[in-house]
Amino acid sequence: MNDAEFQRRLMERMLAAQTPWGRFRLGLRVRLKRLAWRFVVGGASFAKRFFDVVVACLALVLLAPLLLLLWWLVRRDGGPVFFQQTRVGLDGKEFKMLKYRSMCVDAEAKLQELLVHNEKAQGITFKMKDDPRVTRVGRIIRKTSLDELPQFLNVLRGEMSIVGPRPPIPREVALYTARDRRRLAVKPGITCLWQVGEREGRFWEIGDRNEIDFDEQVGLDVRYIESQSFWKDLWILLKTVPAILFGKGM
């Protein structure tokens, strides 16, 4: 269509819109487009929620013997079995994220004393090698990410998804820039791009998540948000197992 033809059709539509019938047709077309858009967005949201619930239910059933064993081991170590930590989720809403307790009971109180040993240069997230707060059982379940398994319950409660940006703590969010806050545009997840070390978007890529700094984490989370799909979620989930087993990728 050339410019002259485009201008002619545009004028015809503008003239038609000035009549009662033309205004009706224009309004109907706008409403139908809005309805179609809501159907697409709502359908995608429903599909993701359905995927989350099915995967969480299957995981809890299939992993029940392991979950009971971990419950017993953590219980023997003294203190509560589960650790509930306030995290920030969709649109900045706070919730209690579940983990098997891997640290001593007063770990949060001791954190302030250890912040000077933070290995994360940007100081937003915290990481420390040989953290003295970690228990004997905790070292094993943290290294294998088994402490994260109770988060399938957070998924069933609708607070988290299987795949999505990891939920930050309020202390971290207080230091966020406007760009960083884009991570809060979707539900947080149990696993994500940087958790499996997918930095360059290669199909088989699995890498060491410990090499990824905070700024790159944000960039990968934003990339996921802008291109998420059912098949992408499924592939990230499948890559999570070898990422845990092999750590630094293949």
Give burial (CB, 10 Å; 0-12/13-18/19+) of 234: middle
Tell me, what amino acid is at 210? N
Residue 57 lies in a domain: no
Q: What distance lies between CA 86 and its chain's CA centroid?
A: 15
Res. 21: pLDDT tops 80: no
* Mean pLDDT, all residues of the chain: 82
pLDDT band (50, 70, 90) for residue 116:
very low
Q: How many domains does the chain have?
A: 2
Whether 111 and 38 share a structural domain: no
Residue 56 lies in a domain: no
Q: What is the pLDDT of residues 197-243, one digit of tens each?
A: 998 888 888 888 888 888 899 999 999 998 888 899 999 999 998 88
Whether 123 and 165 share a structural domain: yes
Residue 134 DSSP class: B
Res. 39: pLDDT tops 60: no
Whether 43 and 87 share a structural domain: no
Q: What is the structure's pLDDT at 127?
A: 58
Whether 39 and 72 share a structural domain: no
Whether 99 and 215 share a structural domain: yes
Residue 97 lies in a domain: yes
Range of the structural domain that residue 238 is part of: 63-246
CA dihedral for 209, 215, 218, 222, sign (positive or negative): negative
Whether 43 and 154 share a structural domain: no
Higher-confidence position of 175 and 7: 175
Residue 52 lies in a domain: no
Whether 103 and 217 share a structural domain: yes
